[in-house]
Amino acid sequence: MRFDSKTEILILIIGAGILLIWYVFRFVGNKKYKKKQLIDQKYIESILKDKVTFFQQLDQAARNKFIDRVSYFLATTMISPEKGAIITDQDRILVAASATIPLFHFDKWSYENLDEVIIYPSTFNERYEIDTMDRLILGMVGDGVMNRKMLISLESLRSGFSNNLSTHNTAIHEFVHLIDKADGEIDGIPSYLIPQELVKPWLKEMHRSIEAIKRNRSDIRDYAATNEAEFLAVVSEYFFQKPKKLEEDHPILYQLLEEIYNRENESVRH
């Protein structure tokens, strides 16, 4: 059988069309599949009870609300392992719990500026490489082509919920950066959460605390003194991980964070 050149071109176009349709549907199909992370609520509850101190301190009604928030996050945000990371449903629940904790008292808030949480097996460097000596980054909120994405290392996600003595929780840290970013700038002033009249006292206490860190007169992690944005993220980790200790050692800072995160309405189990 012989084709003239017009027929050949037509066959090529049809072939390319079929390939394109197959590719698009395959891609869309995958995306949908990845987005649907329906995890049984009983299982979610058992992991939260076991691993998440913040959850353990809530009464039953607040616990139910927390579980609903975690389910909503899982149903609407992609959580994708990359570079060989192997993640479990427990890891997915811990990501969603980290997202839920800082915004727990804001019923109308969700992460509109986030599509995907990407999980690397270990720390990475600024070029997103994991096999180098300079891989010091535990997690980050993406910019540019990585806009609307968050990256976190699996090790630091897990260790944030494994050591009860630590004030460190990388996943909460990154979600606080996202909340800070919602007003357009990552500057340590989460405009949507902080009442206007508290901005000045917040900055004053922030700068006083940063000075104390620089003079080695504080138990707050040195990294908080990097800049205002890191200060907010680091002291928020401390606030959610060890609120009692923060209240004892830094009462003014604690009070300001209470107002920012609106914790005074919390239904805590006594």
Minimum separation from the CB atom of position 181 to Zn ion (A): 11
138 binds Zn ion, rule: CB under 5 A: no
Give the DSSP per-residue string, 46-60: HHHHHH-HHHHTB-H
- The nearer residue to Zn ion, 214 or 269, going by C-beta atoms, is 214
Minimum separation from the CB atom of position 188 to Zn ion (A): 10
**Edge-first strand listing for the sheet containing 139-141:** 78-81, 116-120, 149-153, 139-141
- The nearer residue to Zn ion, 213 or 233, going by C-beta atoms, is 233
| Whether 209 contacts 231, CB under 8 Å | yes
User: How far lies 16's CA from each of 10, 11, 12, 28, in Å?
Assistant: 10, 9, 6, 18
Interacting stretch for Zn ion, rule CB under 5 A, among 55-63, 101-109, 123-131, 222-230? 222-230
260 binds Zn ion, rule: CB under 5 A: no
**Of 44, 107, 121, which is closest to residue 75 (Cα–Cα)?**
44
- The nearer residue to Zn ion, 40 or 185, going by C-beta atoms, is 185
Which residues, 6 or more positions from 3, have their beta carbon under 8 angstroms from its beta carbon? 11
Minimum separation from the CB atom of position 186 to Zn ion (A): 9
150 binds Zn ion, rule: CB under 5 A: no
176 binds Zn ion, rule: CB under 5 A: no
141 binds Zn ion, rule: CB under 5 A: no
Minimum separation from the CB atom of position 176 to Zn ion (A): 8
Interacting stretch for Zn ion, rule CB under 5 A, among 81-89, 154-162, 178-186, 223-231? 223-231
Tokens of 29: 């199909």
- From CA 152, how far away is CA 139, in angstroms rounded? 4
Q: How many Cβ atoms sit within 10 Å of the Cβ of residue 137?
A: 18
233 binds Zn ion, rule: CB under 5 A: yes
Minimum separation from the CB atom of position 204 to Zn ion (A): 22
- Site of interaction with Zn ion (CB under 5 A): 230, 233
